[in-house]
């Protein structure tokens, strides 16, 4: 089971402010190019997509490849005009989707 | 290719056991890099500049190299960065990631951590809603490659 992702979103912001968001999720990002001790290829298993949606509106997303380091770290920004909820989703090759929500109060 | 011969020398030095354990994935060909760029640009010419790439000059460990990208853009509904492509030509897979931004992003600033197989150029392309495609690159010296090779 994957650990809960770590997310940093400011609790409060002024209307129209651009806030910085940092996320990190524990994941090996197995490239599919490495071999185990018996010389067999370890199957590829990565987080291939990340999305950030605010109050149902898409803000930011990433298509990740094998060239992203293990425990993928993503930092980006969002302009907030109203209070609401960020929904973050990580899509694993195996079909698993990990989601997390963070609220922000906009004054 | 100098990177290839260097890698082979290192692999021989490390012994056959290490070779069997690590394998030696080949780096991508220049054609693959060109194809990845063409798929992103749709064949349009690119313009140099307006992208600031933040990367260490020397990365001791290619397994995790911090990368920051800033594109000079007003990020309005009319004129904003829509997509940012990151390429590393000597990696087994040239395309590392594509970031998709929107006017709600506020600023065209992203950061992540990448894997680099060898000393190589990291290339960043940014597409704007005006149809302009920007391109910039930065070399990184890699001491220990990060792609299992």
What is the ipTM metric for this complex?
A: 0.95
% of chain A beyond a pLDDT of 90: 90
Q: Which residues of B touch A58 (CB under 8 A)?
A: 102, 104
> Rounded distance, CA B148 to CA A35, Å?
8
**Residue B112: how many other CB atoms lie within 10 Å:** 25
> Rounded distance, CA A15 to CA A106, Å?
6
- A54: nearest CB among B104, B110, B112: B104
- A65: nearest CB among B75, B93, B149: B93
Q: Which range has the worst mean pLDDT, B16-25, B51-60, B124-133?
A: B16-25
pLDDT-derived band at A35 (thresholds 50, 70, 90) equals confident
Query: CA separation (Å) from B24 to A34, B5, B9, B18?
Result: 8, 12, 12, 10
A74 touches chain B (CB under 8 A): yes
Shortest CA gap A44–chain B (Å): 13
Closest listed residue to residue B143, CA positions, set B63, B66, B67, B60? B60
Q: Are B40 and B128 in contact (CB under 8 A)?
A: no
**Residue A97: how many other CB atoms lie within 10 Å:** 10
What integer pLDDT is reported at residue B30 of this predicted model?
84
Please, where are the H alpha helices in chain A? none
Q: Which residues of A touch B96 (CB under 8 A)?
A: 65, 67-68
User: How many helices, marked H, and strands, marked E, lie in chain B?
Assistant: 3, 9
Q: Are B8 and B16 in contact (CB under 8 A)?
A: no
Q: Which residues of B touch A67 (CB under 8 A)?
A: 86, 88, 91, 93, 95-97, 114-116, 147
> Rounded distance, CA A51 to CA A47, Å?
11
> Rounded distance, CA B12 to CA B18, Å?
9
A32 touches chain B (CB under 8 A): no
Q: Are B125 and B84 in contact (CB under 8 A)?
A: yes
Report if pTM > 0.90: no
> Rounded distance, CA B146 to CA A11, Å?
36
Nearest residue of A to residue B99, measured between CA atoms = A62
A5 touches chain B (CB under 8 A): no
Q: Which range has the worst mean pLDDT, A3-7, B9-13, B133-137?
A: B9-13
pLDDT-derived band at B28 (thresholds 50, 70, 90) equals confident
Shortest CA gap B147–chain A (Å): 8
> Rounded distance, CA B38 to CA B32, Å?
10
Shortest CA gap B111–chain A (Å): 5
pLDDT-derived band at B29 (thresholds 50, 70, 90) equals confident
Residue B54 has pLDDT above 90, yes or no: yes
Where is pLDDT greater, at B77 or B146?
B77
- B100: nearest CB among A57, A62, A65: A62
Q: Collapsing DSSP states into helix, strand and coil, what is residue B74?
A: coil
What integer pLDDT is reported at residue B13 of this predicted model?
44
Residue B121 has pLDDT above 70, yes or no: yes
Residue A26 has pLDDT above 60, yes or no: yes
Portion 33-62 of B in contact with A at CB < 8 A:
none
């Amino acid at each position: 089971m994957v650990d809960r992702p770590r997310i940093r979103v400011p609790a409060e912001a002024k209307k129209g402010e651009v806030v910085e968001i940092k996320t990190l999720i524990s994941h090996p990002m197995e490239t599919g190019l490495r071999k185990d001790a018996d010389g067999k290829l370890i199957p590829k298993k990565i987080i291939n997509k990340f999305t950030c949606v605010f109050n149902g509106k898409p803000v930011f997303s990433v298509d990740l490849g094998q060239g992203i380091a293990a425990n993928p770290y993503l930092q980006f920004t969002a302009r907030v005009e109203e209070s609401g909820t960020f929904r973050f989703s990580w899509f694993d090759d195996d079909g698993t989707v990990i989601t997390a929500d963070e609220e922000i109060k906009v004054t | 290719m100098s990177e290839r011969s260097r890698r082979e020398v290192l692999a021989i030095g490390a012994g056959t056991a290490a070779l069997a354990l690590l394998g030696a994935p080949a780096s991508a060909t220049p054609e693959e890099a060109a194809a990845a760029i063409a798929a992103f640009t749709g064949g349009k010419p690119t313009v140099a500049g307006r992208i600031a790439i933040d990367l260490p000059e020397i990365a001791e460990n290619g397994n995790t190299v911090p990368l920051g990208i800033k594109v000079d853009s007003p990020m309005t509904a009319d004129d904003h960065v829509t997509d940012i492509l990151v390429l590393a030509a000597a990696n087994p897979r040239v395309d590392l990631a594509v970031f998709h931004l929107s006017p709600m992003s506020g600023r065209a600033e992203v950061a992540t951590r990448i894997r680099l197989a060898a000393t190589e150029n990291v290339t960043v392309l940014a597409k704007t809603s005006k149809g302009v495609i920007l391109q910039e690159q930065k070399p990184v010296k890699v001491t220990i490659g990060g792609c299992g090779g």
